[in-house]
Every structure is written in C-alpha cells, then in structure tokens.
Structure 1
Amino acid sequence: MIELFDVTKRFGSETAVDGISLRVERGELCALVGTSGCGKSTTLRMINRLIEHSAGEIHLDGQPVRNFDEQALRRRIGYVIQSTGLFPHWPVARNIGLVPRLLKWPRARIQMRVEELMSLLGLPMASFADKYPHQLSGGQAQRVGVARALAADPDILLMDEPFGALDPITRDTLQEELRDLQSRLHKTIVFVTHDMDEALRLADRLVVMDAGRIVQQGAPLDLLRDPADDFVASLLGGDDRGFKEAALTRVEERMLPLSPRLIARARVHREATLRQALAVMFREHADRLTVIDDEDMPVGELSLRRLVGARPHE
C-alpha cells in the first residue's frame, strides 16, 4: 500500500529525514514514534505531499506519489491532525461533507455518508449536525475530524498526534474507538505520536525514529522484548517495559485449566490484560484468580507465578 525507498528530506542544510525505507501493508496501523524533531511528522506529510521529499521515492499501490495530481492525491488520503482543522464557520455536517463535495458526489449520497459517519462515531445527527466547532468538546471535535477524514472512504488515513491535546479519559475513549473502527474498516493507517502507551496500544507495526533515521521497526511486543539498543529500550519505557508488555498480553494467553477444588474468589475476565490481572491481585490480596468468560462462567485460572513466569513458547 505505502512504500518509502531511501527517502530523504532536507530543509536547506538541515536533513530532517535521512534515507529511510519503509513498507506499510494494506490494512495495517503503523505508528511512527521518537523524540521531538526525529522526523516522524515530516515523514507522514511526505506521503500525501504536504511536504515534498528531496530524494528517494514514495509509492502508493506501486505508483510514485509524484505521478498523482497533488489535490487528487490528498482527497484520496484521509488526514487527521491534533487541532482538527475544522472550518469554524461551518456546522458539523458541512465540515464532514467537505471532500465528497469537492469530488462532486450527488447531494443525496453526501447526506447519506455524513449520516452514516456521524452515527458510526457517536455523533447523533439531531444533536450535532448543526453545531459549530466552538460548541463541541475536544473529544467531539476530534470525532468530527476523523469523520471528515473518512468521508470519501479513503484507503489510507494519516494521523498526526490526533489525540495529543485531549485529557487522559477522553484520549483513552478515542483510542478504544479507533481500535474498534479499525477492526471494522481495515484502513491503512500511519499514526504519529509521542505517547508510547498510545503507540503500543494501537499499532500493528511500531517504527522508532531518531535523528531522521529508522533505528528499529516491528511488532510492538517484539520491540519490547528485544530492543535494538539503549535508545529504543529507554523510549519504550526502560525498566517499565515489563509492565508495558503485560498491558499487551491477554489473560487467556497465560491461564491454565480450572482446578474445581481451588476456585479463587477473586476474578478476572479472560480478555483482560496481565497488567489488569496484576492490579486485581493487589486489590484483592490474592495470588490466584479465577478466569471468567462473557457469561461470568469460570473457564480457567491464573496464578501470580504463571503471570510473571516464562512465556508459553519458552
């Protein structure tokens, strides 16, 4: 879907991105992470040509991006930024329908698409269609920004710190909604964030950048377990990497068959994370949990020893 071949970006004598190569598969959520100024946002903006690359090639579906008309390219790629970029003098429905109007969709089709997206993102038409951006909360405005990016049903979504300005509770909620949306829509998403917990929670592939170069990439768990160097280890949490790994591992991956004579009073859902299970153990002063399913039926057990012990494949 997206391929970068030895891509470089220079601003005068300064090199912001230095010869990076990257392949983002169709339907994958790829998170670019690193310290401020590492080149992650510049990399994102080169994909839709908001910034032109200085050297190398960027391909979409096998075609160089410079073969596309700039405006046509940007209309087929959804783009979400931290400040939402909503037009303040337009109501919500008109903001969402912007790109379909530019593509000259029939009015009835635009209306149907706007209604569909507002419903999908928890923005009832009756309550929000005629509101203006200044009348929305931060989370609501960000939902509108996502809806606008999805309006023309693009295959690709670029997201640059989309939840960075939100409070932690709203941010967690929108992260969960994005995961749910991605499970249904299977868009190809490139996501820039400085929040490692956010990246680890959302990404299929994690790309760590430093000084304009890619220093490591792969599945989040692989990087947590085997960071390439001290910089990557520190960025991923240093001594807390074990807790971050626990937050990505489900109880059902470690639970053992239930021992009927040793059913523990303290319980945890099979889809909870090991980090959540450990929190239950602390709260309940227990070293063993009964694992339950959606019907509250016991399906296994998890001991503290099993929780912190060797991984099943080791």
Structure 2
Amino acid sequence: MIELFEVTKRFANETAVDGISLRVETGELCALVGTSGCGKSTTLRMINRLIEHTAGEIHLDGHPVRTFNEQELRRRIGYAIQSTGLFPHWSVARNIGLVPRLLKWPKARVAERVEELMDLLGLPMAQFADKYPHQLSGGQAQRVGVARALAADPDILLMDEPFGALDPITRETLQVELRALQARLHKTIVFVTHDMDEALLLADRLVVMRAGRIIQQGTPLELLRSPVDDFVASMLGGENRGLKEAALTPVSERMLPLSPRLISRSRVGRDATLHQALAVMFREHADRLTVVDDDEMPVGELSLRRLVGAGREE
C-alpha cells in the first residue's frame, strides 16, 4: 500500500530524512519510533505531501504520490494528530463530517456516516453530536479526531502522536480501543510515537529511526529478540527487554502437552501473554498453570521454568 524508495528530505542545509526505504503492507499498522528530531514525523507528512520530499520516490498503491492532486490525495488519506485539529466553532458532528462534505457526499450519506462513526468510537449521537470541542475531555476530543480521520473510509490512516497529550489512563484506554478498531477495519496505518510501549502494543511492523535514517525494522518480537545495536536495544527497554517480550509472547508458544496427573487448579488462557501468566503465578503462589482454551477446557500446561525459557521438562 505504501512504499518509500531512498526518500530524502532536506531543509536548507539540514537533512531531516536521509535516504530511507520502507514498505507498509495493506492492512498493516507500522509504527515509526525514535528520539526527538529523528525524522519520524517528517516521514509521515511526506506520505500525504504535507511536506514534499527532496529526493527518492513515495508510492501509494503502486502510484507516485506526486501524480495525485494534493487536495484529493489528502482527502483520501485519514490524518489524526496530537492536538486533534478540530474546528472549535463547529459541533462534533460537523467536525466529523468535514471530509465527506468536501467530497460532496449526499447529506443523508454524510449524516449516516457520522452516526456510524460516533457509535463506533463510543460517542453516542444524542449526547455528543451537538457539543463543541471545548466541552469534551481530552479522550473524547481525540476520539472525534480519529472519527474525522476515518469519515471518508480512507484506505490509509496517518497518526502523529495522537495520544501524546493524554493522561496515562486515558491513553491506555484509547490504545486498546485502537487495537480493537484496527482488528475490525484493517486499515493501513502509519503511526508515529515516542512511546516504545505504545509502539510495541500496537504495531505489526516497528521501524526504529535515528538521525533521519532507519536503523532497524521488523515485527516487535523480532526487534526485541535481535536488536541490531545498543541504540535499538536501549530504545526497546535495555535490560527490561525480556519483560517487554513476555508481554507480547502468547502462552501457546511455551506451553507443553497436558499431564493429567499434574493438572493445576491455577489456570491461564492459551491466548494470554507470558507476562499475564507470570502475574497469575505470583498472585496464586503457583509454579505451574493449566492452560485452557476459550471453553475453559485444559489444553496444556505451563511451568515457571518453561515460562522463562529454561527448556523442555521431563
């Protein structure tokens, strides 16, 4: 869906992005991470031509972005930012319906789409349609921003630190909601964040940038298990990388076949993470768990030794 070929961006004598190549597959959530000034937001904004690239090529669905009319391009790509960018003198419903109106959708279709998205984002029409941005909490305003980005049903969604200004509890709630939303909609998303935990939670593909270059990219587990250098290892949590890996690794990857004579009363779902399994062990003072399926039927077992990867047991 999105391809960058040796893309460079220079501002006067400064190189913000330096010859990067990247491919984002259809339906994939790609997170760009790195320290401040590494070029991740510039990379994002070059995709929808808010910033023009200096060299290289950017393709959307096989076509160079410069073959598209700028305004048409931006209307077909959803864009959500940290500050929401909502018009303060417009109601929630009017803000969400902006792009469909610009695309000259029939009024009835716009109204239907606005209601659909407000329901999807947990913003009941009766309660929120006529409110103004200043009457919303930070989390509610960010939901409206995401709804507006999705209004014209774009194939691509660009998100630049969308939850960065929110308190930790609201941020975590919206991260979970975005994961659930993506599971339903399967959009192609490029997501910029400085929060590595957020990136690890959300990303299918993780891209670590430094000084305008891509240092390493791959799945979160690939990077956690094999960081290319000390910088990437540090970005991923340093000595805490093992715990972050446990938060992404499913129990099913480490469980052993069930031993009927050793069934434990302490249980964990096979789709739970190793981090969740460890929490159960601590809470229930158990060094062995019975692994169950969605119907609570035992399908395997997990010991503390196996959880930390000490090898297969007799």
Fold shared, TM-score > 0.5 on shorter chain: yes
Q: Which residue of 1 aligns with 2:231?
A: 231
Q: Which residue of 2 aligns with 1:4?
A: 4
SS of the aligned residue for 1:157 comes to strand
Distance 2:135 2:257 in 1: 53
Q: In angstroms, what is the RMSD of aligned CA positions?
A: 1.4
2:108 aligned with 1:113, yes or no? no
Q: Which residue of 2 aligns with 1:197?
A: 197
Question: Does the CA contact (< 8 Å) of 2:77 and 2:158 recur in 1?
Answer: yes
Question: Does the CA contact (< 8 Å) of 2:46 and 2:53 recur in 1?
Answer: yes
Q: Which residue of 2 aligns with 1:258?
A: 258
Q: Which residue of 2 aligns with 1:163?
A: 163
Distance 2:265 2:100 in 1: 55
Give the letter aligned to residue 281 of structure 1.
Answer: M
Distance 2:163 2:267 in 1: 33
Q: Aligned-pair distance for 1:191? A: 0.4
Normalising by structure 1, we get a TM-score of 0.96
Give the letter aligned to residue 69 of structure 1.
Answer: N
Q: Aligned-pair distance for 1:305? A: 0.9
Aligned residues: 312
Q: Which residue of 2 aligns with 1:308?
A: 308
Q: Aligned-pair distance for 1:311? A: 7.8
Q: Aligned-pair distance for 1:164? A: 1.0
Give the letter aligned to residue 307 of structure 2.
Answer: L
2:126 aligned with 1:126, yes or no? yes
Q: Check 1:248–1:56 CA distance in 2 against 1; reply closer, same or farther (3 A cut).
A: same
Q: Which residue of 2 aligns with 1:247?
A: 247
1:38-68 CA-partner distances (Å, limit 9, x unpaired) = 0000000010111111111111112111111
2:283 aligned with 1:283, yes or no? yes
Please say which of residues 56-65 and 211-220 is displaced more in the overlay. 56-65
Give the letter aligned to residue 296 of structure 2.
Answer: D
1:152-203 CA-partner distances (Å, limit 9, x unpaired) = 0000000001111112222121111111111111111000011111111111
1:126-161 CA-partner distances (Å, limit 9, x unpaired) = 111111111111111111111100000000000001
Gaps of 5+ in 2: none
Question: Does the CA contact (< 8 Å) of 2:305 and 2:311 recur in 1?
Answer: no
Distance 1:282 1:206 in 2: 31
Give the letter aligned to residue 254 of structure 1.
Answer: R
Q: Aligned-pair distance for 1:266? A: 2.3
Give the letter aligned to residue 238 of structure 2.
Answer: G
Distance 2:62 2:207 in 1: 21
User: What does residue range 55-204 of structure 1 map to in structure 2 within 5 Å?
Assistant: 55-204=55-204
1:211-245 CA-partner distances (Å, limit 9, x unpaired) = 00001111111111111111111111111111111
Give the letter aligned to residue 75 of structure 1.
Answer: R
Give the letter aligned to residue 32 of structure 1.
Answer: L
Distance 2:67 2:310 in 1: 51
Q: Aligned-pair distance for 1:310? A: 5.5
Gaps of 5+ in 1: none
Distance 1:74 1:208 in 2: 26
